[in-house]
Amino acid sequence: MKKRPSVRSQGNTAEMASSDQQSLVTEKLQEEAYEEKHVHEVYQQIAGHFSSTRYKAWPIVKRFLTELTPGAIGLDVGCGNGKCLPVNPNVFIIASDRSENLARIAVNHQPHSAIVADILNLPHPDSFFDFAISIAVIHHLSTPDRRIQAIREILRTLKPATTEAPGGKVLLYVWALEQKTSRRGWDKGDQQDVMVPWVMANNFPKDGLTDQPKVFHRYYHLYEANELERDIINAGGRVLESGYEKDNWWAIATR
């Protein structure tokens, strides 16, 4: 006959569970603080200069947007300066960015709207949108779980497929590890979690008091081949198409 666990052992189990929960909360706060320092704060400071270097949509992004059905409603999650918003005047896009300074620039692309929002907690209803894009954003999240959670959150907002209509689709872009021929020179086998410098040009002084360039460092997770597809599947999505373009991995997915 098995002995019943003692009150003390039950208490120990409860204490262990409480300790584990506390550790998870602490870990999450550390991850958020890391991204705040090495991603969000940086983009707040470099928004104007960054925007001046971003002026047209990449070819696969342009193709995805121009092939949409007229009247479609979608999201641009992590829109930056909104360079993708004017691509197809026959669709309506609700853009969002974690950087308030970038969202203020993007809002100029009327009639589309731009708001400040967190990719891990989007202020949008479930199963509502015909499409979404998230270009060069997911790689700024600092853990595998957070990257998968971000993809899951975007998928949540898309219309599911029915017998009458296909479901909503999302186009995702992330920086590739395999870019040996680029000026960065990364390749398979290199470190995937890196800090990438952004040099503020002399004519964009942050405080107006100095002409010396300032260097900011942004966190990136460099995706290896097939990693984006795995993250989409782990987020509950289905990959429709994927490929490589100009040092980036991309994928089109649905729920």
> pLDDT tens across 67-88, in order?
999 999 999 999 999 999 999 9
Query: Using CA atoms, how far apart are residues 94 and 74, in angstroms rounded to an integer?
Result: 6
Which candidate, 73, 66, 61, 67, places its Cα nearest to that of 124? 73
Domain-located, residue 117: yes
- Would 244 be classed as within a structural domain? yes
CA torsion, ordered 89, 93, 99, 103, to nearest 10 deg? 50
Whole-angstrom distance, CA of residue 88 vs CA of residue 82: 13
Pairing assessment for the beta strands 193-200 and 214-221 based on DSSP bridges: antiparallel
For residue 20, pLDDT beyond 90: no
Instruction: Flag the least confident range among 9-23, 60-74, 86-100, 238-252.
Output: 9-23
Going by the DSSP 8-state scheme, the letter that residue 172 receives in this structure is E
- Please tell me what DSSP assigns to residue 40: I
Number of domains in the chain: 1
Query: In this structure, is residue 126 part of a structural domain?
Result: yes
Peptide bond into 111 cis (omega under 30): yes
For residue 97, tell me if it sits in a domain.
yes
Q: Which residues neighbour 20 within 8 Å (Cβ) at sequence distance 6 or greater?
A: none
Q: How far apart are CA 158 and CA 74, in angstroms?
A: 9
Going by pLDDT thresholds of 50, 70 and 90, the confidence category of residue 154 is very high
| The pLDDT of residue 206 is above 50 | yes
Helices (H), 53-176: 59-66, 100-106, 144-157
Rg of the chain in Å (alpha carbons)? 21
Contacts of 110 (CB under 8 A, 6+ apart): none
Rounded to an integer, what distance in angstroms lies between the CA atom of residue 32 and that of residue 225? 27
Domain span including residue 121: 51-176+223-254
Residues 75-124 have pLDDT tens digits of 999 999 999 999 999 999 999 999 999 999 999 988 888 999 999 999 99
Q: Is 160 part of a structural domain of the chain?
A: yes
Residue 141 within any structural domain of the chain = yes
List the single range of 129-138, 155-164, 202-211 with lowest mean pLDDT: 202-211
- 33 belongs to a structural domain: no
- Asked if residue 230 belongs to a domain, the reply is yes
CATH number at residue 238: 3.40.50.150
